Amino acid sequence: MRGFLRGLRRNQRPGRAGPTSYRSSTYVPLAPWQVRQRRFRPTRVGRRGLDPEEVQEFLDRVADDLAAAYRALGVSRQETARIKDALKRWQTEQARRTDAGRHR
């Protein structure tokens, strides 16, 4: 078990989830349209099954939640980029002030 965990740590890539992530490197998250278009086979005669309308309503709800999460993630990434840019500008300004003070 320890060897397995060490192997996970070694294979960790920058920007990826930590060793507790069980997703493969080829994992592609579901998109809302994939959830909305998913269809299930009807049950065979005489077998129990799920109400297709109820399943579709649930899938639509999941797709809406997924779309909202992706929108929030996009907004968060834009805000992160804006803050990083502002921090870089501030650091550059501080470095210039420090250099100007040393050369006087």
**So where are the chain's domains?**
30-41+50-104
Q: Which of 65, 40, 63, 44 is nearest to 53 (CA)?
A: 40
Say whether pLDDT at 12 is over 70: no
More confidently predicted of 2 and 84: 84
Mean of pLDDT over the chain: 79
Say whether pLDDT at 86 is over 90: yes
Percent of the chain with pLDDT over 70: 75
Say whether pLDDT at 15 is over 50: no
- Look at residue 6 in the predicted model and tell me its pLDDT: 57
